[in-house]
């Protein structure tokens, strides 16, 4: 699966990074902390691709908003994991900055499609 959308590529990289970081979480957190962030982060590139495949721009925009919401949810989980000591401050900042870049790209894409 490959997309020519840069925002999808960046969202895919974020997903890979979150999966990598959470693989070291305790087994006891597999369904408590690990599962929700993996669902939300994987929803970001998935919704971008699904929206791109839709026939109408309005549908694409709606899926981009869903991706944006999933991105915010992901960031909220990551902040909690930092505060709980499951990820380092530097890992959090790296992922947070990636989230910000994706958020800006989503905003610009939504704006360009809305004209």
Q: CATH classification of 6-113, choosing from 2.70.70.10, 3.40.50.2300, 1.20.1440.60, 3.50.50.60?
A: 1.20.1440.60
Q: Which of 105, 96, 58 is nearest to 77 (CA)?
A: 96
- Please, are residues 60 and 51 in contact by the beta-carbon 8 Å criterion? yes
pTM of the full structure: 0.91
Residue 27's pLDDT is what? 82
For 22-62, how does the pLDDT look when each residue is reduced to its tens digit (9 = 90+)?
Answer: 998 888 877 788 889 999 999 999 999 999 999 999 999 99
Domain boundaries, the chain: 6-113
pLDDT category at 4 given cuts 50, 70, 90 is low
- Please, are residues 49 and 8 in contact by the beta-carbon 8 Å criterion? yes
Residue 2, helix vs strand vs coil? coil
């Amino acid at each position: 699966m490959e997309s020519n959308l840069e925002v999808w590529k960046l969202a895919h990289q974020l997903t890979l990074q979150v999966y990598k970081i959470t693989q070291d979480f305790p087994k006891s957190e597999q369904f408590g902390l690990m599962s929700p962030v993996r669902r939300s982060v994987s929803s970001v590139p998935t919704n971008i691709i699904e929206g791109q495949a839709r026939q109408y721009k309005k549908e694409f925009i709606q899926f981009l908003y869903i991706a944006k919401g999933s991105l915010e949810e992901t960031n909220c989980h990551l902040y909690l994991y930092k505060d709980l000591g499951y990820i380092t401050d530097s890992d959090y900042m790296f992922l947070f900055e990636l989230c910000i870049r994706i958020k800006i790209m989503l905003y610009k894409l939504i704006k360009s499609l809305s004209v």
